[in-house]
A and B are shown apart, each in its own frame.
Chain A
């Protein structure tokens, strides 16, 4: 066999939900790797197992839960290497309803031995197996964080409701402003209502602000879907590992252990209310005693910095130490939740007192503070709720808009183009330069909305302005 042949490369089998997070008619769970069919067949009862089905042939059947009971009617199909997206053996399972069933299906597959795909890993594998070349890989750079082209498609399909309507409103404003500027550039001899550069500048700023707001909400939604990175911090022996284990034990849905981006930190993933929480235990955040520990600490620092939320585990059975004051200082401007552990234990020594919720609240008056017992497993749901709320804001998960990474990028791009347009206008470089910036922003929004802008501007101009010879 040709040594470049992609399926001879030994790799683990990865799985992910390929469709966007949120409500949709169906969701697709995708597996890629040498074990894809075998894993699927163990979790599904199909009219004919995939192992006996020709590739690209859709089978009907049921998804079983861990007790062997059918929980959803599904469709499954497999693609033989090398004629699949990744060039590997690929299975797709189509489940019903939004994320819940798909999430369950994914969890079951992960229990069977599949590994949760990293964002963009399907595309990465397609590239590595020679299915797409570097040019194309670069071409999909904008979508590399979404998991596959199907995900993109699904995002476009499910792009409805709030995101679309907000984005559409902003797009319409952009179009109107663009139209006003362009018409005066193309028809200089007509009496047109182009105001002055100052008014245009104000409009540009207002539109940019709307985009920034939209971006905030999308970022939240994105986080909810891609997972919240949670760093567990606190001084040694405060119960960080116990908390981690308790969280994992308590959640039946232990997903998997993924070696983190750094080799020495272990990232554990569990899902809570359908949202992946990526937990990193930052053991040994504090003063290093030797060089090895120093490396560990710098990794922990990194994780601390990069996390979306930090759980500060404080020891409820001892009084606050200097470390705690430092930690409170460091956390002040970061998203965090405080867990007071061992609050049920008697104080270590009679005279030393303990760290109470009130004491923490004095240090960090704005912070959510919860009492837990890692050992007994109490207060964990409240803690997870607090973690999710700290991201979603007010606990309303659906305030986050369901945008894909690609869509978030387009919003960012549009903001950048509008900033350039404002600068060009302010420095008197000309309406044509500002107009070009607006046009760029417009096409970013068109890509976001999945509409072709072809003649939209001209349609707008000719419907709004009376021009022509």
Chain B
């Protein structure tokens, strides 16, 4: 007989990884009574793959999390060993931070955060069963013999559900190498009426730093300026840690080809489809036979150990083959493998069964976040965890959920893609998935999302005031630039010539000078000094808003056009079979997916513009009929 915990929770979070921690922290900070169940407490916020945070699109997600009141940016800043700006020359929308983190410091930050968080109880236990009644979640049952009651449950189970690890011909039930998998919960999830599927991902061998000869390899250090993901972080200059570049070569590829028959992938053992963007090295060699060499990074994983991650070298070939492959890499001739690379296969919940606020349609009060939704990456997981935690807390309070639109946040794109289109491979955030990316920049995440974070109670007075002061500085300076005049001068024209810009012939506003391609704010400020110049990243925000004004406005107009479709809500009981003219395939998809808005309906793959047109005409006739009925009754 299981013991029933007498404390009733608002939110129960299942999982202690990136999504689970964010969900638990957000809900507790919003005042909900939260329980976090983690199957092994020492693995809080584990980074079982490369301990790197950020990059294009992923870095945007981290900054967005910070703007909403999440924790990942703090953890990344706190644990960074080296940080760099990427894509600096490719335009304002795709610039992003990437940090190599110390995985122990990162985990320690989250561990302390959840342990010291008010309203949050953290327990080690293994959830085996969902307790549901009449289509509603009531709580969870655990392996240690407990029953916990909760108004809502957030599943953030990562790669643990039915996890199975493959190394060459060997395979065994496991979470990330060496961890306990979760066997029973998958069945319970399916028992609750949710459909699951298998997917997989790979990781690389780890090497002992002291067994490598890095002297001949190119080293990549940290940026010379202080950089931070967090909106409130000061950033610091990181020294002493480097990534090293090496390359695979014909010898490596030969070893792989000779041993392909021993790969679980090519033996057809694994069920899930692996990610295309993150192929194992054996995948790359097979798919791109003309490439004789692939770029590989050797990256430190912690200040506290000597392990090195071999970026771009994930593999599930047998251990002995991995050893030969590693030894063929420059600098690694006598490398010692501390742990082998492996593939992990696990269950995920098909995400089209979720609402855009991450609650399952089938079981009220049950939310899913992170890899359980078919995504890949710590950033994708944390961002979803944050949103699920927010919405679980709101649900417990009886309030409306937060739904982020595609024009509002990368997180909005991520969730909309998942719930509308689903995914057949681990979903990775990419800037090219985002149609309004000029609006969704790293530098304006605070303006886009912090008002929401503030409203739901995740951003306190102190942080809010920092943002208000920042926005005021930017806006005041932008106004000043419009008014300030800059006359032509010899000094200015020399500076312009150096930038490849034509000389000034008459007086212009400072803003117009800044609008010229390639003219930076620093130059404008030199000739039109500001009483209170913006600082650090504020400069970038200011520059972009002025320089790209026309393009930004155009994207805003596009969004406004599309928003009409986003605002048309589809009734939850809509009978699609009564709408004549819909293609049979579209009708099936609409019935299965039950989109919230006309806009979402239009993004379902296979649903044509004509279907949407018909749907819209039908909706209108519905509302007119209702209006007629009311009129009739009024008479």
Name A residues whose Cβ lies closer than 8 Å to a Cβ of B: 2, 126, 130-133, 135-136, 138-140, 149, 152-153, 156, 182, 184-191, 424, 427-436, 439, 443, 447, 450, 452, 454-455, 457-458, 461-462, 466-469
Contacts and interface: CB of A to CB of B under 8 A. Distances in A.
B275 interface: yes
23 contacts: A131-B621, A136-B613, A139-B565, A139-B613, A140-B613, A156-B610, A182-B430, A182-B432, A186-B430, A188-B55, A188-B56, A190-B295, A190-B312, A428-B518, A429-B517, A429-B547, A430-B93, A432-B91, A436-B437, A455-B605, A468-B276, A468-B277, A468-B312
A133 B312 contact: no
A450 B610 CA distance: 10
Interface stretch (B157-165, B230-238, B283-291, B316-324): B283-291
A139 B93 CA distance: 29
Contacts of A468: 275-279, 312
B614 interface: yes
B437 A432 contact: yes
A128 B150 CA distance: 54
Contacts of B314: 469
B312 A469 contact: yes
A132 B86 contact: no
Contacts of B295: 189-191
B616 interface: yes
B311 interface: yes
A131 B438 CA distance: 38
A187 B56 CA distance: 8
A153 B548 contact: no
A139 B291 contact: no
Nearest to A429: B517
The 8 closest A-B pairs by CB, nearest first: A430-B91, A432-B91, A462-B276, A427-B517, A468-B278, A182-B432, A432-B93, A468-B277
B620 interface: yes
Given A152-B610, A432-B431, A433-B93, A452 B605 contact: yes
Given A126-B617, A436-B551, 11 more contacts: A156-B610, A185-B431, A188-B90, A189-B297, A428-B517, A430-B94, A432-B94, A436-B93, A462-B276, A466-B284, A466-B294
Interface centre among A135, A187, A468 (most CB of B within 10 A): A468
A156 B551 CA distance: 32
Contact of B620 (A2, A133, A182): A133
A433 to B, nearest CB: 5
A84 B312 CA distance: 60
B312 A424 contact: no
Contact of B613 (A149, A182, A447): A149
Given A133-B620, A430-B90, A457-B432, A149 B56 contact: no
Interface SS of B by simple majority: loop
B530 interface: no
Given A468-B275, A469-B311, A432 B617 contact: no
Contacts of B89: 430
Interface residues of B, number: 58
Contact of A432 (B50, B430, B438): B438
A240 to B, nearest CB: 44
A439 B92 contact: no
Contacts of B278: 468-469
B608 interface: yes
B609 A447 contact: yes
Contacts of A126: 617
Nearest to B89: A430
B96 to A, nearest CB: 8
B91 A136 contact: no
A125 to B, nearest CB: 13
A82 to B, nearest CB: 9
B56 A186 contact: yes
A467 B89 CA distance: 20
B87 interface: yes
Contact of B277 (A430, A432, A447, A462): A462
Interface in B213-243: none
Interface centre among A133, A433, A450 (most CB of B within 10 A): A433
Interface centre among A132, A136, A189 (most CB of B within 10 A): A189
Contact of A139 (B56, B433, B616): B616
Nearest to B608: A450
B42 to A, nearest CB: 26
Interface in B97-121: 98
Interface centre among B50, B276, B278, B291 (most CB of A within 10 A): B276
Given A188-B86, A450-B608, A136 B617 contact: yes
A414 B90 CA distance: 23
B518 A467 contact: no
B421 interface: yes
A186 B429 CA distance: 9
A120 B45 CA distance: 60
B394 interface: no
Nearest to A178: B432
Nearest to B49: A469
Interface in B545-583: 547-548, 551, 555, 564-565, 581
B624 interface: yes
Nearest to B275: A468
A256 to B, nearest CB: 29
A433 B438 contact: yes
Contacts of B609: 447
Given A132-B617, A185-B87, A191-B295, A429 B606 contact: no
Nearest to A447: B609
A149 to B, nearest CB: 6
B57 interface: yes
Given A130-B624, A191-B295, A469-B311, A458 B430 contact: yes
Interface in B289-319: 291, 294-295, 297, 311-312, 314
B537 interface: no
A373 to B, nearest CB: 51
A79 to B, nearest CB: 10
Interface string B569-610: 000000000000100000000000000000000000110111
B92 A430 contact: yes
Given A136-B620, A432-B438, A454-B421, A149 B430 contact: no
B16 to A, nearest CB: 24
Contacts of B613: 136, 139-140, 149
A187 B437 CA distance: 16
B432 A153 contact: no
B133 interface: no
Contacts of B312: 190, 468-469
B525 interface: no
Contacts of B294: 466
Contact of B91 (A182, A431, A466): A431
A132 B432 contact: no
B559 to A, nearest CB: 13
Given A428-B518, A468-B278, A436 B438 contact: yes
A457 B144 CA distance: 48
A342 B278 CA distance: 80
A104 B517 CA distance: 60
Given A432-B92, A432-B438, A466-B294, A185 B56 contact: yes
B435 interface: yes
Nearest to A466: B288
Interface centre among A185, A433, A452 (most CB of B within 10 A): A185
Contacts of A130: 624
B218 to A, nearest CB: 12
A14 to B, nearest CB: 19
B564 A135 contact: yes
Nearest to A130: B624
Interface string B48-66: 0010000111000000000
B432 A149 contact: no
Nearest to A464: B288
B602 to A, nearest CB: 10
Given A153-B610, A188-B56, A424-B551, A429 B279 contact: no
